[in-house]
């Protein structure tokens, strides 16, 4: 029986889509058969007295993400969001009103990436599509395989990684390919979306196999390569060590985490690791001027000091609730779960500050829109939450 590992993280074997799950039985095909309880039921929600006021400014529907790793992005006064059915929408950040809504004609699996001028999304058939800020198709190119990681757009360039571990850069104005770098893909990887961060003429690219590479934006030349997770074990399953989520840059540090690997902070200039701690994550990290936050593969939230990596706190009250990647906002760190709740924890000690319900479907992405929190759910809603 096909199954999900957690929040859509799946496994690819020898280039074929094979999901690892429990053994199938004939009774599992009978819709009237009783089903065993989940092996790891989500932790029940704890009751607490809110210490932070959170207000929903607006909510609107943009179309379901289903099993695609789609996340909204805010640039200036605009928010761009995509749905798996191919819908791409520009929303006004202040009101949630749709400025335009178009159909890309593709089944979208990756996005959105934007610098405000170019809006890029990726499709299951390997198409990379770029639109201008009015929603007009600027160009489309065909990549060598499916795109799961959101394209990164900056400095007039779109950088994207396809499932076969090929990293390519295209001119944002016309789609002309600037460079391509092919990396060897491990035989077994999570069906997840290792991200790309562009900063200071460098693309920091998270990769399967536990590697984080820094590439020159001009020609794709490697500036450095660092280990976030080292494949270990006797079987290919035990050796999965994929970097998860999008790296974050804070000051001179670029921080990332890997499944069956570590959480690390690395000198962005030369790739030297400042510190690392054991952590197995499939969703990535968040950071601010004092702390780095990581969520392990059991949905336990961890906080570390940014300068030394010392453990500050650990919150296991959301265990097995399928948390999405965290976001640091104000005095809180926000996480979204599989039932559509957004939880706000104290960045200082991990205590509950607030909780907000959305549409009841899994939160697929959190990001910032100015001083507010931008939320997208699997069911297709986008909401903006304001902390007061």
Say yes or no to pLDDT of 47 above 80: yes
How far is 52 from 50, CA to CA, in rounded Å? 6
Q: Average pLDDT for residues 174-190, to the nearest whole number? A: 90
SS3 call for 29: helix
What confidence category does residue 190 fall into, taking pLDDT thresholds of 50, 70 and 90?
confident
Decide if pLDDT at 102 tops 80: yes
CA geometry: angle 323, 250, 312, nearest 5 deg:
55
Nearest Cα residue to 138 out of 89, 112, 180, 171: 171
- Residue identified by tokens 């392990």 is 296
- The domains located in the chain, with CATH, are 10-17+52-387 (2.130.10.10)
Here the tokens at position 125 are 């058939």
Average pLDDT over residues 161-183: 96
Q: d(Cα 46, Cα 97) in Å, to the nearest integer?
A: 35
The answer to whether 22 touches 41, Cβ cutoff 8 Å, is no
Peptide bond preceding 342: is omega within 30 degrees of 0, i.e. cis? no
Pairing of strands 69-70, 108-114: parallel
Once rounded to an integer, what is the mean pLDDT over residues 261-279?
97
Assign 37 a pLDDT band (cuts: 50, 70, 90): low
Expressed in percent and rounded to 5, the helix, strand and coil fractions of the chain are 0, 50, 50
Distance CA 126, CA 147 (A): 6
Q: What percent of the chain has pLDDT over 70?
A: 90
Beta strands in 323-362 (DSSP E): 327-329, 332-336, 341-346, 352-357
Q: Which two tokens stand for residue 387?
A: 């902390």
Q: Please give the distance of CA 224 from its chain centroid, rounded to a whole number.
A: 23
Q: What is the mean pLDDT of residues 348-361?
A: 98
User: Of 282, 381, 378, 385, which is closest to residue 329 (Cα–Cα)?
Assistant: 385
pLDDT tens-digit map of 320-329: 999 999 999 9
What mean pLDDT is predicted for residues 207-230? 96
Kindly indicate the confidence band of residue 38, based on its pLDDT and cuts at 50, 70 and 90: low
Contacts of 333 (CB under 8 A, 6+ apart): 286, 291, 293, 301, 303, 326, 327, 344, 345, 346, 347
Q: Which of 21-35, 37-51, 150-164 has the lowest mean pLDDT?
A: 21-35
Give dist(CA 256, CA 249) in Å, integer. Answer: 9
Residue 315 backbone dihedrals phi, psi, to 5 degrees: -115, 115
CB 166 within 8 A of CB 145: yes
Least trusted range by pLDDT, from 22-26, 36-40, 101-105, 298-302: 22-26
Smallest CA-to-CA distance from 293 within 271, 318, 315 is with 315
Q: Say what the pLDDT of residue 35 is.
A: 47
> What is the bridge-based pairing of β-strands 98-103 and 118-123?
unpaired
pLDDT at 3: 40
For residue 2, name the pLDDT band (cuts at 50, 70, 90).
Answer: very low
């Amino acid at each position: 029986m096909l199954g999900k590992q957690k929040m859509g993280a799946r496994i690819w074997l020898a280039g074929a889509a094979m999901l690892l799950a429990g053994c199938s039985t004939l009774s599992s095909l009978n819709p009237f058969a009783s089903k065993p309880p989940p092996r790891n039921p989500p932790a029940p929600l704890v009751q607490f007295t809110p210490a932070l006021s959170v207000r929903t400014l607006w909510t609107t529907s943009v179309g379901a993400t289903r099993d695609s790793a789609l996340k909204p992005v805010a640039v200036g006064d605009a928010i761009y969001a995509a749905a798996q059915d191919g819908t791409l929408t520009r929303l006004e950040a202040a009101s949630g009103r749709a400025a335009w809504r178009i159909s890309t004609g593709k089944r979208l699996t990756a996005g959105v990436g934007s610098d405000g001028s170019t809006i890029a999304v990726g499709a299951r058939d390997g198409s990379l599509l770029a639109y201008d800020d009015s929603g007009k198709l600027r160009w489309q190119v065909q990549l060598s395989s499916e795109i799961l990681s959101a394209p990164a757009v900056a400095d007039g360039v779109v950088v994207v990684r396809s499932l076969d571990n090929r990293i390519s850069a295209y001119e944002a104005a016309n789609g002309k390919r600037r460079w391509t770098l092919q990396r060897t893909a491990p035989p077994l990887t999570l069906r997840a979306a290792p991200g790309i961060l562009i900063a200071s003429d460098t693309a920091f690219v998270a990769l399967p196999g536990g590697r984080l590479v820094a590439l020159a934006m001009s020609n794709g030349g490697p500036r450095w390569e660092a280990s976030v997770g080292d494949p270990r074990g006797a079987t290919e399953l035990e050796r999965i060590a994929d970097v998860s989520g999008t790296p974050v840059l804070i000051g001179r540090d670029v921080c990332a985490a890997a499944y069956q690997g570590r959480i690390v902070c690395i000198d962005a200039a030369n790739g030297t690791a400042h510190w690392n701690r054991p952590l197995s994550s499939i969703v990535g990290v968040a950071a601010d001027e004092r702390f780095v936050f990581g969520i392990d593969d059991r949905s336990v939230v961890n906080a570390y000091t940014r300068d030394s990596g010392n453990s500050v706190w650990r919150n296991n009250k959301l265990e097995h609730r399928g948390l999405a990647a965290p976001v640091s906002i104000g005095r809180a760190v926000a996480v979204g779960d599989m039932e559509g709740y957004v939880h706000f924890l104290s960045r200082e000690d991990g205590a509950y500050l607030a909780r907000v319900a959305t549409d009841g479907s899994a939160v697929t992405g959190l990001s910032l829109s100015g001083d507010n929190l931008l939320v997208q759910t699997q069911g297709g809603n986008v909401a903006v939450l304001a902390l007061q």
